[in-house]
């Protein structure tokens, strides 16, 4: 019963795939097939993301149209590495995840009851914000070399580095080991930090408000 209560819902699979991408894949960094594994996790995120918004057909179709170019770019790049494929894949990944953020956030904010699925949705939005900015930073680095204080890295390593930098920025930790140098890089960096803080403030206030309302109704 406990398992069904907390691990049943349309956002569960998506949250699991995101955690695999962010936390399991880096632990296997020295694994020979890490590139394929990362691509599998990203593809799983796209598929589970489409499933999570598939209640309405036109929404699901539009989500597929955004995800498909990224999947193609991602897997073609595995066999025929090209810089433009990396940029194209990240660009469509940003569009897809932004679309899902809008849909999921709308569901969370309209919720009348704080359920495990609502909490999972709120967590997913926060994690997606970090991933979106990681993709954005990597596109910027490819288009403007020297925008950040990092050494040139490989495809998968740059993905992990910018994920790290993005979440350090989102949580306002600011270790300083990676720093934005160009004006646009600095703008994107502080914009992410501001969005992260606003999101947490508004989200916590909303969920607490719903919880209080639930408690009053039960009494």
The pLDDT averaged over each successive group of 10 residues in the chain (219 residues) is 52 93 78 80 94 88 94 90 88 95 91 86 94 94 85 61 90 83 92 92 84 68
148, 185 contact by CB (below 8 A): yes
pLDDT at 219: 60
> For position 61, what pLDDT does the model report?
93
207: tokens are 């969920």
Q: Give CB contacts under 8 A, 24+ apart, made by 134-137.
A: 134/159, 134/162, 134/163, 134/165, 134/166, 134/167, 135/90, 135/91, 135/93, 135/94, 135/97, 135/162, 136/90, 136/94, 136/188, 137/162, 137/165, 137/166, 137/185, 137/188
Residue 76: per-residue pLDDT: 92
- pLDDT at position 217: 67
Query: How many CB atoms within 10 Å of residue 52?
Result: 25
187 token code pair: 């703008």
pLDDT at 152: 55
Pick the CATH number of 2-218 from 2.40.50.100, 3.40.640.10, 1.10.3720.10, 1.10.287.70: 1.10.287.70
- Domain-wise residue ranges, the chain: 2-218
Q: DSSP assignment, residue 28?
A: T
Do residues 133 and 188 lie in contact, with contact meaning Cβ atoms separated by under 8 Å? yes
């Amino acid at each position: 019963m406990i398992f069904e209560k907390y691990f049943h819902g349309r956002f569960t699979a998506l949250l699991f795939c995101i955690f695999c991408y962010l936390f399991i894949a880096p632990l296997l960094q020295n694994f020979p097939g890490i590139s394929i594994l990362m691509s599998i996790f990203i593809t799983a995120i796209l598929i589970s993301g489409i499933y999570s918004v598939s209640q309405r057909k036109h929404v699901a179709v539009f989500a597929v149209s955004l995800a498909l170019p990224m999947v193609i770019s991602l897997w073609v790049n595995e066999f025929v590495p090209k810089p433009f494929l990396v940029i194209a894949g990240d660009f469509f990944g940003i569009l897809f995840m932004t679309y899902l953020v809008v849909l999921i956030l709308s569901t969370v904010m309209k919720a009348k009851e704080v359920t495990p699925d609502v909490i999972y949705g709120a967590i997913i939005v926060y994690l997606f914000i970090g991933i979106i900015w990681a993709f954005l930073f990597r596109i910027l680095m490819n288009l403007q070399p020297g925008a950040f204080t990092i050494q040139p890295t490989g495809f998968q390593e740059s993905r992990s580095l910018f994920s790290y930098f993005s979440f350090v920025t989102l949580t306002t930790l600011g270790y300083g080991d990676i720093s934005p140098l160009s004006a646009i890089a600095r703008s994107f960096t502080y914009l992410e930090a501001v969005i992260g803080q606003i999101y947490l403030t508004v989200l916590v206030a909303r969920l607490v408000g719903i919880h209080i309302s639930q408690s009053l109704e039960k009494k």
